[in-house]
Structure 1
Amino acid sequence: MSAEIDETADIGRQRRSRYDDAAIVALAERQHGAVGRDQLAALGIGEGAIRYRLTCGRLYEIHRGVYAVGGRRLTVAGRRQAALLALGPAAVLSHRAAAAQWGLRRSEAVDVTVPRDRRAPSGVVVHRSILPADEITERGGFAVTTVSRTILDLAAIRPLHEVAKAADEAERLRLGDSLSLADVVARYPGTRGIRKVRAILTDARIGADVTRSELEDRFLRLVRRARLPRPQTNVLVETATRTYECDCVWREERLIVELDGHASHGTRRAYESDRERDRALNAAGWRTVRITWRQLHTDPESVRRDLRALLSSSRSTKPLT
């Protein structure tokens, strides 16, 4: 009788163990392979059961109180999840990790911001800051700093050209939040990296309010001063499938210049449409070049030089009749 009771109890323990293992796996699948001790306790899995699974290789300790399931090597997302679990519920991904989460740049760094000093777990860069609620959001299941706060944090640790590239990518992806980059600058006037963010904002304003006619006038003035042939403007160019209205056309040289203002070309849909249009015109034997107000404003000499070379090469490669 005693043996039967022991056998029944053993069967019960095995069933409980299988049930617990299934619960752990389900939790790990939602969290990129990482689980926390407190989460396991909430599932009814105590310290003894955790130690047993560590011993037999079902769990592998990553940080104190944080485990990978099955002893497998964690992905970058898993390492970031493990860092958040190790540093507590107030921890958020920030800096390079947040920028990667938003798709602004590639990085495998694990940057986490916490409101008070904490010892950094292995492989984790910990930043201390008390973040207002409007600078924290959720992205892909992770607590993460907002886009504007992320760019500010990047400016504190990365060079200007990298920060500017991230800001440009945020604009291209149409990522925004209730707190703009200008709002962040006003909120933190003396913080580290703020000059880089101000420079990015100043640069972004160049040409923001320029009309199409102003852009065209500036370009034609450049053509005239360079003593280059005057193009036809706002004319129709036919391809096998469509007819396009083009800004500036040199028909003999089969060269098209499109003048890109922010207002008409600054959206993601416009970006894709422009590339589709360029491809169709190129396939029809035209060369399409895009020139922006910023280029005309900040580096007109390069525009003149490149335009002269394009017109010259078009003439030299024109087939003999």
Structure 2
Amino acid sequence: MLASSAPRVVDIPHARLMTFSELRRSNYEESEIAAALRARHIVRVRHGVYASAAFWWTLKPWDRDVWKVRAHHLSSRSELIYTHVSAARLWGMDVWNATNDIHVAQRTRHGDNSAGVVRHKLMIPEEQVATQDGFRLTSKDRTVVDCAKLLPHELAVVITDSALHRGASRQGVSRILEEQAGYANISKARRVLAAANQLSESAGETRLRLKVMKWGFPPPTLQYEIDTAIGRHRADLAWPELMLILEFDGETKYNGTAPTDSVLLEERKRETALMECGWTFVRIRWPQLDHEASLRNRILRAYNNAVYTHGRPPAA
């Protein structure tokens, strides 16, 4: 008796999604697809949409959220516009602490009713809709407005900082807010825009700045440039008159991953060069942002020491 042949390994190209129908058209049997899932050679990103496991598990969690939106687009048969957090992710904006629900605006009553999809009944002018890689999504400016109206303040400012840093227009956002005057949560969205700063380069820098302002410190200068013996350094947040720097460790981003030895070595070199110039700094890593009392005390001690050394800053 001839032994039955082993099922083929399902091969999905790197950095690509494939639907169940595409796999079947590639001559994979249902049993082979099921076996590949059990063996963890492929992963189900969304119902009927798959990716190579070797690719999927190399992605950072926030990058996987982007690919989940792409998977939804592949699986959806409706005419959709991606909005809110989903649009922000597709634009490459920093999104922190938001759910991975898919946000869409539907034009018909018979749209997507699948799980994990938030449907918005929105009238979106065509000039506030963009097309990117086959996706229809809200423009950067409209995305900022929608997120600012929907999300808690800190989350919304993170997205707005990132959007402005990546080309959204403060004037364009203001214009949409004026057009929506009288709508729900417009005052909330205006406060988000007023708090935003396009010089912020990461979600961590934004969160740190918001905390510093909430605690009553004078507004720091962002991306302040300092010449040292080993070159020019840009401080994330600084009070130049006090020669005090708050440095957020971008290597940790959202998940608190420990920096590498090479990163730590470069940090020490920069810190030594800055100290030789008379600067004091407080280095802050991602997990410390959630321990407000201890973080505030660290910054307050450094600030008071700098005031004692250099004198009080001039009144604003």
State the TM-score, normalized to the length of structure 1.
0.49
Task: Say which structure is richer in helix.
Answer: 1
Structure number with larger C-alpha Rg? 1
What TM-score, normalized to structure 2? 0.49
